[in-house]
Structure 1
Amino acid sequence: MQLTKKKTVLLIIGIIILSFNLRPAITSVGPIIGMIRDDLSLSNWSVGFITSLPLLAFAFMSPIAPRLANRIGNMRALLIGLIILMSGIWIRSIATIALLYLGTTLVGVGIAIINVILPSLIKGSFPSKIGIMTGLYTTCMSTFAAAGSGLSVPLTSGIDLGWKLSLASWSVITIIGIAIWLFVMKNTPAEKDLKLYEPSARKMLKSGIAWQVTIFMGLQSFLFYVTISWLSEILIADGFLPSTAGWFVAYMQFISLPATFLTPIIAGKLKNQRSLVLGFGSAGVIGYIGLLFHSSIILTTISITLIGFTLGSSISLALALLGLRTKNARQAAELSGMAQSFGYLLASVGPIIVGLLFDLTGSWDNSLMAIILVTIVMIGFGIGASRNKYVL
């Protein structure tokens, strides 16, 4: 799709606005998950299900999203994703357990559509700039993910919105996103090659590289959502105030931004990305081990800094691999659907398992040991996914 300079800038702005909506509806839950648990009288494993539901929705919707885009185009599909996301944010703010779960599921469906189609849009519109465009939108995504974590407690308790209105407030950026994306659609030409695309899901399922990218995506997502969901509670158990714990979660995401931006740019210039995987994977292992010592604020800050570096690098590399391991936009959409479907299905068990481990043992140390093991396994699959080969 050839674009003029003006329309290219407009499309980049639209992609940035879309990226703003990809995480805060989820990350805003973690710091106030204890309040939701207490208000609705939920157990730790069942409140962890609130974080797992979007991931299950990702798993269900991700293989469908490329077909939706093939029928109506990337632009319209992305708009539908935003509308579903907005509806989910509103519905889950009604204080019943059923509607909380339903709305959270719709949040996941809306985000899944955008998650899957954005790499395809970037591959098709910016084929020679996958690294920098992936770095740009993942950095913007991570910035608002951090804002979701950092502002959650102040919105809930600081200005007395309560957890329901606090979560509902994130629909503001979705409404803005819908308005801006409608303008982008009006001023950007639609794709012309949709009917030329033939789904290649069966071939993708037979590709070893595709499975390594998929499992790497799943394990890094496992780590991200477990950390977002339970880091605050882990720190509170170590003696930190809830507000301090919430800001630590936000700090972890803000400190990840340089790595989030630079990793895909560096990855795009390398023949393979094994050195990157070893570097940020080792940092994550050291960081999670540091949390086992329950010690000073200095060691905790160092540990969370290393974890932030790992999470920022791993998500942006995983998304960059969707373009780097494919030959065209439609392959990228297909790999994105596969990776985010199976990958997020794997990730969805994370918050539940970690919450259940705590319920069974009364200690976060066992949960942290499980997280360290997952980080090591992620390194192995990341090295495999980093080979200089195409999926098909």
Structure 2
Amino acid sequence: MVLVALNLRPALSSVSPLLARLQADLALSPAAVGALTTVPVLCLGLFAPLAPRLSHRLGIERALSFALLLLGSALLLRAQHQLFSLFAGTILAGAAIGIGGTLLPVLVKREMPERADLLTGVYTMALCLGGALGAGLSVPLAGLLGGWAPSIAFWALPAAIALIAWRGLVAHLWPQHTADRPRERHPGLSRNALAWQVTVLMGTQSSIAYIVFGWLPVLLLQRGIGEATAGLMLGFSVLTQLVSALAAPWLGRLGRDQRPALVGLLSLAAVGFALAMLGPASLVWPAMVLLGLGLGGTFSLALTLLVLRSATPAIAGQLSGMAQGMGYCIAALGPFAVGLLLDWKVGLAGITVLVLAILAVAMASAILAGRRLQLRVDESSGEITTAPPEYCR
């Protein structure tokens, strides 16, 4: 699972440090550059609901194998000096990541329900490590391999290694479907307030993360920071996410619920981004630390909530599909908005106001989603409902 998770972020983080080269080589318009950062996030949301269906038909192990195969193929397709291949590969990569990222929380709930929050922290740490490697190594790989295309294609290699390991080490059993055992799916989730609170939290915190993935090097260039250094700063910030990603589930256990940890981590992200954009140049590196700690911990806890707020693996699968499907569609609006602001020549101050506004919405939803509640099946109606606190672990 950790090896799979390592491959779910380099496809997203490895492009932004190379945007200037892509724009010059392919004569991309500002709108096309903005679309390149927005499309993969949108695809995460559009294809996430496909994951439960694939899992039902193929089994969760085969569905993850399919996602890895699609991801590796998409990265090779994207690494062509053609505009169509670039966008087609980006769309397919987003689809693969959307499917794989939706299935992992379900697998955690199924395999280790009693330690699900801590295991979520471990694979979230792997996600962050993959993102850091993609951001930090993109420019050096482009110099070593002779251009942006082989730098992007390089990330198909770890995807292939993960696929081989997943196929070789994990049993791929076909799911057993019988007439008296239909697909376990309960109605009422889309009308549940708690499910929407988790979804909005997932969407808004992801929006900030993908603004950072897609635009941070470009924004740092406006501060006069060089291309290679900007890429390293992004990689370093994502690397610091490892610490908080692993520690956040433990922090969430310290209190009665996850609200204090979520509010504290989102505050770190807000201070870090504001300092990075508007603070003194000497504080940009410390700002990367604060930003990384805040985003890594918030993402880890948001994924943990998918498990903690679900009474069964079936509900976890539904909530994961909704929160990541709708959530990533919400998240795509952030990078798109930043692209528009840059196209309109809005400065760093205006972009910072936008990011802080998104973080304020994330904090409000965190206060609601972080309460000690759980989604359960009502025995009388068969619909998903919110259980009172005394029924939660």
| TM-score computed with the length of structure 1 as normaliser | 0.91
Match of 1:115 among 94, 98, 101: 101
Listed as ranges, the matches of 1:334-353 within 5 Å are 334-353=318-337
C-alpha spacing 1:364/1:264, structure 2 compared with 1 (3 Å): same
Q: Partner residue of 2:345?
A: 361
Distance 2:333 2:87 in 1: 16
Distance 1:358 1:52 in 2: 14
Distance 2:256 2:265 in 1: 18
Alignment of 1:326 with 2:275, yes or no, is no
Q: Partner residue of 2:227?
A: 242
Distance 1:344 1:131 in 2: 21
RMSD: 1.7
C-alpha spacing 1:387/1:375, structure 2 compared with 1 (3 Å): same
What stretches of structure 1 of length at least 5 have no aligned partner? 1-14
AA paired with 1:20? Answer: L
Distance 1:295 1:234 in 2: 15
AA paired with 2:343? Answer: D
* Cα deviation, residue 349, structure 1: 1.9
AA paired with 1:79? Answer: S
In terms of mean alpha carbon deviation, does 367-376 or 41-50 score higher? 41-50
Q: Partner residue of 1:132?
A: 118
Distance 1:379 1:362 in 2: 25
Q: Partner residue of 1:216?
A: 201
Distance 2:278 2:61 in 1: 48
Distance 1:38 1:371 in 2: 28
* Cα deviation, residue 268, structure 1: 4.4
Distance 1:339 1:315 in 2: 12
Question: Which string of whole-angstrom CA distances, capped at 9 and with x for unpartnered residues, describes residues 129-167 of structure 1?
Answer: 1111101101011111101000001011x2142111110
* Cα deviation, residue 185, structure 1: 2.9
Q: Partner residue of 2:361?
A: 377
Match of 2:260 among 249, 272, 275: 275
AA paired with 2:271? Answer: I
Q: Partner residue of 1:32?
A: 18
C-alpha spacing 1:38/1:382, structure 2 compared with 1 (3 Å): same
Alignment of 1:289 with 2:274, yes or no, is yes
SS of alignment partner, residue 338 of structure 1: helix
Distance 1:138 1:190 in 2: 27
Q: Partner residue of 1:11?
A: none
Alignment of 1:306 with 2:262, yes or no, is no
AA paired with 2:50? Answer: I
Distance 2:280 2:250 in 1: 36
Do the aligned partners of 1:46 and 1:352 also contact (CA within 8 Å) in 2? no
Q: Partner residue of 2:53?
A: 67
* Cα deviation, residue 189, structure 1: 6.3
Match of 1:388 among 355, 372, 393: 372
Q: Partner residue of 1:265?
A: 250
Distance 1:79 1:54 in 2: 20
* Cα deviation, residue 256, structure 1: 1.8
Distance 1:339 1:137 in 2: 18
Do the aligned partners of 1:45 and 1:353 also contact (CA within 8 Å) in 2? no
Distance 1:254 1:75 in 2: 28
* Cα deviation, residue 305, structure 1: 1.3
Distance 2:32 2:337 in 1: 10
Do the aligned partners of 2:58 and 2:175 also contact (CA within 8 Å) in 1? no
Q: Partner residue of 1:5?
A: none
AA paired with 1:235? Answer: L
Q: Partner residue of 2:73?
A: 87
Do the aligned partners of 2:59 and 2:173 also contact (CA within 8 Å) in 1? no
Do the aligned partners of 1:92 and 1:99 also contact (CA within 8 Å) in 2? yes
Alignment of 1:228 with 2:205, yes or no, is no
Do the aligned partners of 1:24 and 1:170 also contact (CA within 8 Å) in 2? yes
Match of 1:159 among 119, 123, 144: 144
SS of alignment partner, residue 327 of structure 1: coil
AA paired with 1:301? Answer: W
* Cα deviation, residue 294, structure 1: 5.0
Distance 1:63 1:268 in 2: 30
* Cα deviation, residue 190, structure 1: 6.6
* Cα deviation, residue 168, structure 1: 0.5
Question: Which string of whole-angstrom CA distances, capped at 9 and with x for unpartnered residues, describes residues 312-350 of structure 1?
Answer: 011101110000000111111110000011100011122
Distance 1:122 1:191 in 2: 18
AA paired with 1:376? Answer: A
* Cα deviation, residue 191, structure 1: 6.3
* Cα deviation, residue 270, structure 1: 4.1
In terms of mean alpha carbon deviation, does 189-198 or 333-342 score higher? 189-198
Residues matched between the structures, number:
374
Q: Partner residue of 2:41?
A: 55
Do the aligned partners of 2:56 and 2:175 also contact (CA within 8 Å) in 1? no
| TM-score computed with the length of structure 2 as normaliser | 0.91
Q: Partner residue of 1:206?
A: 191
* Cα deviation, residue 265, structure 1: 2.8
* Cα deviation, residue 35, structure 1: 1.2
